[in-house]
A and B are shown apart, each in its own frame.
Chain A
Amino acid sequence: MPTLFPDDTKNIIEALLFVSNEPLSAKMLADIIGRSQEDIVLLLKDIKADCEREMRGFCLIEIAGGYSFVTRPEYASYVEKLVKPRLNTLTQAALETLTIIAYKQPITRSEIDEIRGVKSDSAVSTILERLLIYEVGRKDGPGRPILYGTTPAFLKYFGLKNIKELPTFNAHNITKDA
């Protein structure tokens, strides 16, 4: 293990984040570099602060269980000239269905239908195709219906750190919550 000057570690983190095409977790960075996870997290905070203070064209965010450099939203119009823009945004039906799955997973199609008051077949197909949800397994009981849950791609799509970081709402309105 080569000895590293403390300053280098921060640069190495930057280099790894720069080249990676997936968010990197603090643990992964710690394993690669050979420093403790606590050190890594501190340095990541530093990097994030640097980017913000210097108003760089990109910033560091926590997303889908790891850290990633992303371009500033202010420059989206320019980036879109270079990079293929995202697919169409989700329809209201797909969004509602996805929201329900996110908070109630694992959940079956008919349970979703009950909440929405409509058949959600096409909405579920759409978000399945987009890999935002997947078949987690099957529920015991008649018909053994399929259970759905969200994927890491779901986290990336909405800019979430992890599934625990879903926005919290006052649950007082929902009387049927488990």
Chain B
Amino acid sequence: MSYNVKLPAFEGPMDLLLHLIGKNEIDIYNIPIAIITQQYMDYLKIAGEFDLDITSDFLVMACTLLSIKARMLLPKKLVEIDMEEENDPRQELVERILEYKEYKERAGTFKEMELQQAKCFSRETNDLQLLKKFPPANPIGSLVVEDLIVTFNNILKKMEKRNLTVSLSREEITIQNKIDYIYFSLMDKPNGTSFLKLFSDKADKEEIIVTFLALLELIRRGIIIFEQNCLFEDIYIFLNQITEGDKENAYSFS
């Protein structure tokens, strides 16, 4: 089995298997395991020579194929003693291949939808306007970003006054993590939560800043809204009710 110089790079072992099955016009329900394994190993060898990236996933599949091939070579007598019923060693692999094939095809449909939807435009998102149109239930004082910044500075000063303990575990906190955390915390709090409650007691400066940035991003996207009873007091944040409605529709699956 020889390959052209233009060696296709595959997304992963499943992709490669599907390609081999298609290329050889193999019936998925009756895979000639020896042939497939041979071609698969041939590909890995050639890919190595061409310096293509063979990830460990490819090697795991190689082992799987070889193991299935070995089991198929075992004399039937031994097989019947060891197993309760006669299992086709290829069964599990076939199911996996079929499942992957199915999702690959579905992904193709989504690709078309993506391209189609990219041609349709709606009004640009203008978050501030949306906030004005749907004020929070208790609209005491509408905040502007300057208020937030002032309050944030005050909170930072308050935190600095506390004894800073050396934190031993250095976990990297990303803004995305904090965005998800804030969003998720708010999901079952219809009455919102306070800004200060977002931090653990041992929050260091980095965590506070990252949380604040996450908050700003969520506000910018119109996902949450905020209010403050008095200047320099704590800030309360809520999920924007519009997005909540979207979410309910988005998550009632089946």
Contact = CB atoms under 8 A, between A and B. Distances in A.
Interface string B133-159: 000000000000000000000000000
A28 interface: yes
B246 A137 contact: no
B176 to A, nearest CB: 6
A18 B184 CA distance: 31
Interface residues of A, number: 69
A45 interface: no
Contacts of B245: 25, 27-28, 65-66
Q: How large is the interface on B (under 10, 10 to 19, 20 to 34, 35 or more residues)?
A: 35 or more
Given A22-B130, A99-B110, A100-B103, A137 B11 contact: no
A164 B184 CA distance: 22
A159 B222 CA distance: 20
Nearest to B95: A175
Interface in A121-158: 128-129, 131, 134-137, 149-152, 154-158
14 contacts: A21-B129, A65-B245, A71-B120, A89-B118, A93-B11, A99-B106, A117-B96, A134-B184, A135-B180, A164-B253, A167-B109, A169-B105, A173-B101, A175-B95
Interface of A: 18-23, 25, 27-28, 61, 64-66, 68-73, 76, 79, 83, 85-86, 89-90, 92-93, 95-96, 98-100, 102-103, 105, 114-119, 128-129, 131, 134-137, 149-152, 154-160, 162-164, 167, 169, 173-176
Interface of B: 11-15, 55, 57, 61, 95-96, 98-107, 109-111, 113-126, 129-130, 176, 180, 183-184, 221-222, 242-243, 245-254
